[in-house]
Amino acid sequence: MKYRRIGSVTVSAIGLGAMPLSIERRPDEDRAIATVHAALEAGITLIDTADSYHWHADERGHNELLVARALARYGGDTSDVLVATKGGRGRPGDGSWTVDGTPAHLKQAAEASRKRLGVEAIGLYQLHKPDPDVPWAETVGALRELLDAGTIRAAGISNVTTDQIHEAQAILGDALVSVQNQYSPAVRDAEPALELSARLGLAFLPWSPLGGISRSSLDGPSGPTSAGTAFHRIAADHGVSPQRLTLAWLLARSPHVIPVPGASRPASIRDSAKATEVALDTAELAELAELEL
């Protein structure tokens, strides 16, 4: 495993996206726990979760509680694991997603997440999505208050524009450490946010990083499926899965990129973790950068 930085914390260059363990078509708890343990055994020290990663309306925090149980049951040392959670979205239970960026909601949500994770302070708390009905400065101001209160140690923002990144940094200063936007071979419109994050020294955590290749993990769909692309051909040349090759490409985009592929099987995250072992040459990187899916 190779490592990168999120603020002052060193984490594995590949994280575990824990969402598939709690939403629709989720595995049973034994397999979910085994998936988290497989990630830890592979050297992964970043786990991405959120209070809204659940299926039914009455189980907010399902994924956070699951991650906490998995860490507690792991036989090895987990002191270097950073659990990054998010707040500001909801799931009514009908498959839809809601947004609530009001300061009151975020403060309440962060405290509830802290208790579910069983920590004194959340290592990284990220705003899940801007609320169009709440001024951005007010929402980010709530993160500032959570930092000052000691509820969270570092802050991040997700699904944001470059203007929102600038404004958030003006409010949060060095406490803003990450940006989490969708970015993959098929979805590259977050390129400006990636470039700005790199210039500002912020970690960039692509969500759904395997979109367009085949699946967001080896066992969960992520948008349209492509086959026979340069990603597949170059993966075959390296003797690795297209998913692993894609994560290696993302790592090569910038030293600030830390992909968080989802997984619901141990085999999926073991394969993803090995992306740090794949070296792409200049010609391969140029071909993959120009590919349109």
Active site residues: 53
Query: What distances in angstroms separate CA 23 from CA 59, 80, 96, 192, 217, one per listed residue?
Result: 10, 27, 12, 30, 14
H-helix segments, the chain = 29-41, 62-73, 103-117, 136-149, 162-172, 191-200, 230-238, 242-253, 266-273, 282-290
Q: What is the residue type of 162?
A: T
C-alpha span between 223 and 209 (Å, rounded): 11
Beta bridge partners of 11: 4
C-alpha span between 81 and 72 (Å, rounded): 12
Beta bridge partners of 203: 178
C-alpha span between 275 and 142 (Å, rounded): 36
Look at the block and give the residue holding tokens 């066992």.
Answer: 219
